[in-house]
């Protein structure tokens, strides 16, 4: 069974306030028989990867990132009960032995029903980022636009990416239960090093 945990890109999709919105405009071809659309969006639109270049670190581009990192066993944690920042105290109860890829299911998944950006979303604390680094997590995902709180200063992103942990943001995990899956996450093959939109699936 496959679960599509990606967000559909469309012109009405909310976006992080500093980022450009998604724009899709139909364009008629000269011949008049073919229909195409002009697409304009941020490299962090919808479901996307954050790469080291997002915070000014040296690293691979979305075109060269290892696909073995983006495809493989994954664990979804149900953190929907957490009302503040996600810290080590929320992660320690879980058995993360031999876990390389980790997705956080929070109350954020239901924010996708809102038509406007919501700044009051669940996010990871800096202590939580340190904890994931010590656990050797290679990829962490969350079900809203950012792994870091709205009023964060970038330290959470920097800590994760400096520890070699790629960030997967903009997921919809509302229809997915906690447990172990296979993650299939393929970004657009872009040469930029800050990130890229992607299609993300879970296979049960």
The domain segmentation of the chain, as residue ranges, is 2-7+43-203
Backbone torsions φ then ψ of 198, nearest 5 degrees: -150, 165
Query: In this structure, are strands 166-169 and 139-142 parallel, antiparallel, or unpaired?
Result: parallel
Distances (CA, A) of 95 to 26, 128, 199: 49, 15, 27
- As a whole number of angstroms, the distance between CA 156 and CA 104 comes to 15
Tokens of 30: 């000269």
The model's confidence at residue 200, banded by pLDDT at 50, 70 and 90, is very high
48-50/166-169 β-pairing:
antiparallel
The pair of three-digit structure tokens given for residue 93, joined into one six-digit string: 């109860």
pTM: 0.94
The rounded distance, in Å, linking the Cα atoms of 49 and 43 is 9
Burial of residue 104 (CB within 10 Å: 0-12, 13-18, 19+) is buried
Q: How confident is the model at residue 168 (pLDDT cuts 50, 70, 90)?
A: very high
Please, are residues 139 and 70 in contact by the beta-carbon 8 Å criterion?
yes
Residues sharing a CB contact under 8 Å with residue 151, sequence separation 6 or more, in sequence order? none
CA distance 183 to 200: 7
Active-site residue, selected from the candidate residues 54, 90, 157, 158: 54
CATH number for the domain whose boundaries are 2-7+43-203: 3.50.30.50
Average pLDDT of span 94-102: 93
Q: Per-residue pLDDT tens for 108-162?
A: 988 998 889 999 999 999 999 999 999 999 999 999 999 999 999 999 999 999 9
Looking at residue 28, its pLDDT comes to 73
Q: What is the pLDDT of residues 55-93, one digit of tens each?
A: 888 888 888 999 999 999 999 999 999 999 999 999 999
Q: Is 48 a catalytic residue?
A: no
């Amino acid at each position: 069974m496959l679960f599509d945990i990606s967000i559909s890109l469309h012109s009405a999709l909310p976006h992080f306030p500093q980022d450009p919105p998604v724009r899709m405009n139909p364009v008629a071809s000269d011949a008049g028989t073919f229909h195409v659309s002009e697409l304009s969006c941020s490299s962090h639109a919808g479901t996307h990867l954050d790469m080291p270049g997002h915070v000014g670190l040296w690293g691979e581009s979305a075109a060269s990132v290892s696909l073995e990192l983006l495809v493989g066993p994954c664990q979804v944690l149900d953190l929907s009960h957490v009302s503040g920042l996600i810290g080590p105290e929320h992660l320690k109860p879980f058995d993360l032995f031999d876990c390389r890829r980790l997705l956080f299911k929070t109350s954020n998944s239901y924010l996708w029903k809102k038509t406007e950006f919501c700044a009051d979303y669940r996010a990871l604390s800096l202590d939580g980022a340190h904890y994931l680094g010590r656990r050797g997590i290679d990829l962490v995902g969350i079900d809203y636009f950012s792994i870091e709180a709205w009023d964060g200063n970038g330290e959470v992103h920097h800590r994760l990416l400096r520890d070699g942990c790629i960030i997967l943001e903009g997921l919809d995990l509302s229809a997915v239960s906690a447990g172990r899956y296979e993650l299939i996450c393929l970004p657009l093959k872009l040469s930029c090093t800050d990130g890229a939109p992607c299609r993300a699936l879970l296979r049960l």
